Amino acid sequence: MKKSARIAGWVFLAIALTDVILLAAGNETLPVYIKPFLIPSLAAAALLSLLPEHKVRLTALLACGLLFHNVGDILLLFDGRNFLFFALGLGCFFIGHLFYLGVLSSGLGKAKNWKEICSLIAPFIIAPLAALAFNAGVPMTIALAVYSIALLLVAAMGAIWIMRRRPFGWRVLAGGLLFMFSDLLIAIKVFSGIDFPLRHATVIATYLAAEWLLVSAMTRWIQKR
């Protein structure tokens, strides 16, 4: 790994730990100013590792995914003021996941067996059922279902990577599952009003772990292409 990329990675880790520790300590003010720098520092570590030698198209897809996730992060800082910010943030994360899927699906071709087919079909069955559980009204239920399909497909790609013995498949699967857990905690608070101590810190910790797992796996895969 390039020295510059390694430094950026350590910066991301330092910022991430600071953010989580502050939230766990009950400080909700400073993390507002820290959050916009989390994804850019992770993006810097990834892109400095890839540019300019490696696959430009896949690197561009990864960069776009990170960009939309960063915008989503910023929008969600204001979700307490207006529900529109939550909806727009959700939309940005959805688009970001589509770019991630562009990287994760590269080189896979068609499904090779019934296990892979089931992995790809399951999100389209599970996501709508899960969205209905929140009783969020028709428009938002549809939005949640569509978003959840994209997120579940990310985890499904991890399962397929593992089945095909592609390196770092466990990172993709773990990242997808942690992303779902983090988003589930957000949805429970937004739509059910259920809260618990350290919820915010848990959301951020699992989200950042998910991003690192996914981005590190995609970065290493692009390097091998």
For the record, the structure tokens of 72 come out as: 């989503």
Q: How confident is the model at residue 23 (pLDDT cuts 50, 70, 90)?
A: very high
Global pTM value: 0.93
Residue 183 · residue 154 · CB < 8 Å: no
pLDDT tier for residue 88 given thresholds of 50, 70 and 90: very high
Q: What is the pLDDT of residue 66?
A: 98
The three-state secondary structure class of 185 is helix
Is the pLDDT at 124 greater than 70, yes or no?
A: yes
Band the pLDDT of 56: cuts 50, 70, 90. Answer: confident
pLDDT, mean over the chain: 92
Buried b (16+ CB within 10 A) or exposed e, 164-198: eebebbebbbbbbbbbbebbbbbbebbbeeeeeee
Residue recorded with tokens 């589930």 = 184
What is the C-alpha to C-alpha distance for residues 125 and 122, in angstroms, rounded to an integer?
Answer: 5
Domain ranges of the chain: 3-224
Contact 182, 140 (CB under 8 A): no
Range in 55-59, 88-92, 168-172 with the lowest mean pLDDT:
55-59
CA distance 180 to 207: 9
Mean pLDDT of the region 88-113: 93
Q: Given a cut of 90, is residue 96 above it in pLDDT?
A: yes
Confidence (pLDDT) at 197: 87
What kind and span of H or E run contains 189? none
39 closest CA partner among 91, 92, 88: 92
pLDDT at 145 over 70: yes
Which tops the pLDDT comparison, 185 or 52?
A: 185
Please, what sign has the CA dihedral across residues 159, 89, 56, 40? negative
Phi, psi (deg, nearest 5) at residue 112: -100, -20
Residue 172, pLDDT > 80, answer yes
Would you state the pLDDT for residue 1?
Answer: 63
- The answer to whether 225 touches 54, Cβ cutoff 8 Å, is yes
Cis preceding linkage at 52, omega within 30: yes
27 pLDDT more than 80: yes
Q: With a cut of 80, say whether residue 158 has pLDDT above it.
A: yes
Among 44-48, 173-177, 191-195, the range scoring the smallest mean pLDDT is 191-195
